[in-house]
Amino acid sequence: MLVGAIVSVVLLNLITDQAYIYPQARVLAQVLTGAYIGCMVTKEDLERMPKVIAPYLTVMASFLALNFFVGAFICRVTDLDLMTSLFCAAPGGMTDIPLIALDMGADASMVAVMQFVRMVFGMGCLPLVIVFTGRILAPEAMSSPKGQKPHPHGKRKECASGYISLKKFLPTFLVALCTGVIGKRTGIPAGTLTFSLVSVIVMKLCCDTQAMPMWVRRFAQVVSGCCIGVGITREHIFQLRQLILPAIVLCLGYILLCVGMGYIIARIFHMDLREAMLCLSPAGASEMALIAADLGIYSTNLVVLQICRLLGVVVIFPHIFAALVRLFG
């Protein structure tokens, strides 16, 4: 829906040059996105954090190193500024990263293109690499997958359900909106999304009454797509060809990261090789859980690591990017 909204608004803008959306819509989209991500986090996820903290730090350090390398490469071979280049290589969400990039003065249209490439590659190509690598390096795992029990998605499904009472949805939305506005006024990078996300997590832990239906996520994607699309002009379209080489480098970097660091993490932390490589795949937690199930891997750790990866990229990486731009930009 995000891609569809971007394309439709871009076409409208190119044909009529009249595309417009209220600036406040960006804040609303960030509030809804933060609230939805916060609803995905369960008490069980937080309880498992001490067990996965070491693999998590290793995964995040690997992603950060790749982000720096590819971001610097993009900045060097294209006309994009350093902030935009870093966000282009960020392993976050397809909706979240362009929104944050837009909020921090980066070129959200270029970021959205690279994030789309990352998402398609992460869900379409990397699983094939993981299967092929697993057959070579760990054939015994392919013949006898771990008998782990599927992750209890019961509470997570509540967030994706379209049939959630208004009594649960409204308090969640109001808390996220109020804290998101506070975050916006603080001037902290990605403050709107971060404050709404954290407040919903706290609300969930305290009273367990939060709820965000799936249509909220879709609505946020449409609004985000409109915010990004209105900023894309004919000049941006002509500039897209300069992202071909960076996109290839980004995909190759993820293959090397997935295979190389996946093997190291599997050896150090005694994980299934395919599970470790899936932890390093830059797609969403839900998508990776489904792909893992198709491969015969039912791992709670994988889901927790993917959600924590998304939280870390959304909350921490923008501050690191801002510091790097102040130093080198």
The candidate with the shortest Cα–Cα distance to 197, out of 216, 171, 179, is 179
Both structure tokens of 118: 């990352």
Query: What average pLDDT does range 157-181 have in this prediction?
Result: 73
Integer-rounded Cα radius of gyration of the chain: 19
DSSP code per residue over 46-58: HHTHHHHHHHHHH
* Vertex 96 angle, CA 120 and 282, to 5°: 40
Give me the amino acid identity at 83: M
Q: What does each C-alpha distance from 173 to 209, 210, 270, 287 come to in angstroms? A: 12, 9, 41, 25
- The Cα 111–Cα 121 span in angstroms is 15
Both structure tokens of 1: 């829906």
Least confident of 95-104, 210-219, 257-266, 308-317: 210-219
Question: Above 50 in pLDDT, residue 206?
Answer: yes
Q: Where are the domains of the chain?
A: 2-328
Least confident of 102-106, 194-198, 294-298: 294-298
Query: What average pLDDT does range 57-70 have in this prediction?
Result: 94
Region at 296 (left for phi over 0; alpha for psi -120 to 50; beta for the rest): left
% pLDDT > 90, the chain: 24
Least confident of 3-7, 139-143, 270-274: 139-143
Residue 320 pLDDT class (50, 70, 90 cuts): very high
Q: How many CB atoms lie within 10 A of CB 177?
A: 18
Question: Above 50 in pLDDT, residue 151?
Answer: no
% pLDDT > 70, the chain: 84
Summary mean pLDDT of the chain: 81
Query: What average pLDDT does range 273-292 have in this prediction?
Result: 76
**Which pTM was predicted?**
0.72
